[in-house]
Chain A
Amino acid sequence: MKRRKFIKKSLLGGAAITMPFVLPSGRLFASSGNRMADHVVFVAFAGGVRQQESVLQRYLDDSQAYASAGNIMYNILDGAPPTDKIVYGTTNYVNGDTPIPKMLSQTLQQQGTFFKEVNASVVGHYAGVNTLLTGNYMFTQGLRNKPLTPTIFEYLRRLTGEKATKTWFIGNGIGNSIPLLDYSTHSDYGAQYGANFLAPIVTFGNSGDKHLKNAKVYHPEEELDPMYKMKYFLDNVWYSQGSALPNIGNTEEEKLQIKQFVRDMFQKKDSGSIAFPPISDSGDLQTIGYACEVLKRFKPTLTVIYLSNVDGCHGNFSSYLRSLHRADHGVGHLWDFIQNQVPEMSGNTTMIVAPEHGRNDDPNGIKDANAFYGYDHSDSNSQRIFNMMVGPGIDSNLFIGNENNKVGDIVNIAPTIAEILGFKNDIVNTGLLASNQSFFDLI
């Protein structure tokens, strides 16, 4: 090869290697890290969970000064269930007297890595979930405001170019400003990188039956196409004069898929074939059932599922125990469903389970029908949570930290998700996180 030709080819080759590649997401380079798994399912085990009834397995022993201890979360944690004064199960003779059978042959604790004592500095539901999703403490953030810093959904989509239907945020309702957490108001991120939010027990509940179920099915080419052409013309005219609407960036194809999913769910609901857990007598468990359907249909890269029925603890401790037991049942069902019903995600999914905050050490004085005291969330005991991780590449049967040794913080969850999905360096380079450490860095 002649010298001039060699130099020309070398320069072209070098340029091809060094020239940035602009992804549709607007980023220059594909994410730099290797993925530990292609899917993350993060269960915000939210509503305020006391360490005493969860990790420490003290049941009524600590909270009600009644000598009955034991594990009521036996899909997640190792430990024998309580044997006395059972109120957390389904009802056979008296309220809650029949514990729900265990779902998993091996607990998540045995399958994964368990941080037993983690710090959560904020003790409000919205602020807590906000922190779980953004990796930032929003000390000045009130309800009814979108997050000020990007959510993990936005990082994922902007930094790796994921499609909108690959990120889902599934809430067990629309209270507590939860629907606002699908994206932030950060100027470099925002709606176009947001998650698809769904509160299925509302969408497919009584209101949905009345106002969504009988939606007309328009023909994609003969009706929707001209309809959208007219709409695009109207929107183009408007953009020259008016403001733009927030848009999470579902393509037309993705929108069709979501509409089809909604229609199918109404049909499955009518035929009784939604993938609910064996017991589905609570909002959290119904939410888990629809979340399973989302996983099966869309195989998302990141799914966040928000549970919160345990928040009943303020005034009904028995209901709190039931909700805790059911949330564990739901998580067991979810993990089992992923492994056995979604082949594309089986063995290729990491699940993370963490509350958004704890609950108080001392009761509030409100007694329920069993004369059990309720607990609020405002003292230092409310800053105690746990974190469970299970999936490919994660050490099994590993415990870290204990009651006297806190290891990890709630803000480590966002970088942990980023590390699993192979874009931790990118998320750290944004400089927007409160902590650059993932839970893997703390092992």
Chain B
Amino acid sequence: MLIFRKFIFLISFLLLFACNKQEPIYELNQINSSSYNANKNKLKSTMQYISILYANLFQTALSSNELVEITNCIESIGDKEVAHEIVLSNFMNSQQVLIPSDSLMRSDLNHFVEETYKRFYVRDITEAERKFFIDFFESNPSVSSEMVYMAFALSNEYQFY
């Protein structure tokens, strides 16, 4: 009788746990993503803007003499958008400026625009932004990488950090 009871207990125990449904475990791969505006809330000073822009375009630091000269030039013109555009287009006239070629840009528009966002804004592109640019590039075949770089360098987000 005792053996029978033990047997019943064992069967009950096994039945109890045998019916226990195993919960699925979902796992996610971690990815690194910068926040939407990368928490930029401080306006760059003229010196910061110029030195960062120069390093971005020429991949080398601007000399302190030139930094002061360019800053003075920008200070001497009240409309900063106009001043920045003139200084930037002066940069673009240099042989040393490092910009992807138009053929490289057109060979992989997705990659180009992703890299441009990282290069200028230090953040990832959103899908809405990607769609705008891909559509824009496809409908405007004459848009060059230089024009894209000008637009990013003159944009308001690039003025903040």
Size bracket of the B interface: 35 or more
CA distance A206 to B148 in the complex (A): 30
* Given A203-B73, A207-B70, A259-B82: A226 touches B156 (CB 8 Å cut-off): no
Tell me if B's interface is mostly helix, strand, loop or mixed.
helix
B77 touching A203 by the CB < 8 A rule? yes
Within 8 A of A (CB), among B73-121: 73, 75-82, 85-87, 89-90, 92-93
CA distance A223 to B79 in the complex (A): 21
Tell me if A's interface is mostly helix, strand, loop or mixed.
helix
| Cβ contacts under 8 Å, A246 to chain B | 80
Query: Is A161 interfacial (CB-CB < 8 Å)?
Result: no
- Among residues of B, the one whose C-beta sits closest to the C-beta of A204 is B76
Stretch in B3-11, B17-25, B26-34, B135-143 touching the partner: B135-143
B75 touching A215 by the CB < 8 A rule? no
B134 to chain A, nearest CB (A): 12
A232-266 to B contact mask, C-beta < 8 Å, 1/0: 01110111011111111010000100110010000
B73 touching A207 by the CB < 8 A rule? yes
* Given A218-B89, A226-B147: A202 touches B78 (CB 8 Å cut-off): no
Name the contact of A215 in the complex, choosing from B76, B86, B129, B136 (C-beta under 8 A): B86
Size bracket of the A interface: 35 or more
| Cβ contacts under 8 Å, A210 to chain B | 66, 69
| Contact surface of B with A, Cβ cutoff 8 Å | 36-37, 40-41, 43, 66, 69-70, 72-73, 75-82, 85-87, 89-90, 92-93, 128-129, 132-133, 136, 140, 142-143, 147-148, 150-152, 154-157, 159-160
- Nearest 6 pairs between A and B by C-beta? A197-B78, A230-B151, A202-B76, A199-B76, A234-B155, A216-B89
| Contact surface of A with B, Cβ cutoff 8 Å | 164, 169, 174, 179, 182, 194-200, 202-203, 206-208, 210-218, 222-223, 226-231, 233-235, 237-239, 241-248, 250, 255, 258-259, 262
| Cβ contacts under 8 Å, A237 to chain B | 128-129, 157
CA distance A303 to B36 in the complex (A): 44
B92 to chain A, nearest CB (A): 5
A198-B76, A223-B147, A242-B41 known, 19 other contacts, Cβ within 8 Å: A174-B75, A182-B78, A196-B78, A196-B79, A198-B77, A199-B75, A199-B76, A203-B73, A214-B90, A216-B89, A226-B147, A227-B154, A234-B152, A235-B157, A242-B40, A244-B156, A259-B85, A259-B86, A262-B86
